[in-house]
Amino acid sequence: MADLFSETGGAPVDLNGVKVWRGAVDRAGQEAILADLRAVAKVAPFRRYMTPGGREMSVRMTAAGAVGWITDRSGYRYDPVQPDGAPWPAIPDSVLQLWARYSGVDQPPDSCLVNFYEDAARMGLHQDRDEASFDWPVLSLSLGDEGLFRVGQTERGGPTKSVWLRSGDVALLAGAARLAYHGVDRIKFGSSDLLANGGRINVTLRVAR
């Protein structure tokens, strides 16, 4: 597979220890990954999950890999099968290239979560704590419309930093920042033409088990 990465990436931006590489994946690479994600969605359709408290999430989600993240009345968890009992599809090679280049670890990911943000969707400040170990990083790729990414501390409260993530940007939560609170406050709808009907896709890779 051809190299997906831009030659203009440069040094990452630091947000309370979270690293963000601007323009890490070029347009051709974004389109290749998007095509692979569409194939994933044919096998594992996007779903709008319900939180344990009974609130419907504003983002739609799917996954690939040995396990996918789901939530319902019984709680948040990683599960080896989709809600309909079917296994998750394999993580596309194009996405695995991101992990190999930016994660800084040799352990391969076993879960790839894909979130789709429409115009009103957001993700409140949260920690990624459902994994078996916090020693492994969480790596994400933004595709489509810009999203206002906010990063706090490893404890609730305290100062936060924000940046508009653009299509092709890669973010890494690792080391001391692995448990940093983070979220997406809003989407700048129409800021990218990657997705024909607009919206933002966030792809995250992690070692869940």
Please give the structure tokens belonging to residue 11: 């040094």
**68-104 burial by CB neighbour count: b if 16+ within 10 A, else e?**
bbbbeeeeeebeeebeeeeebbebbebbbbbbebbbe
Amino acid at position 111, single letter: S
- Please say whether the beta carbons of 150 and 125 come within 8 A: yes
Whose tokens are 């692995």? That residue is 178
Say yes or no to pLDDT of 93 above 60.
yes
Q: What percent of the chain has pLDDT over 90?
A: 90
Say yes or no to pLDDT of 207 above 90.
yes
CA distances from 208 to 98, 103, 122 (A): 17, 14, 23
What is this structure's pTM? 0.93
- As a whole number of angstroms, the distance between CA 23 and CA 165 comes to 9
Give the DSSP letter string of 21-85: ETT-B-HHHHHHHHHHHHHHHHHS--B--B-TTSPBPSSEEEEEES-EEEEETTEEEEESB-TTS
Please give the structure tokens belonging to residue 138: 């969480």
11 pLDDT tier (thresholds 50, 70, 90): confident
Residue 183 vs residue 10, higher pLDDT = 183
Q: What is the model's pLDDT at position 157?
A: 87
Domain 13-206: state its class: mainly beta
Mean predicted lDDT score pLDDT of the chain: 94
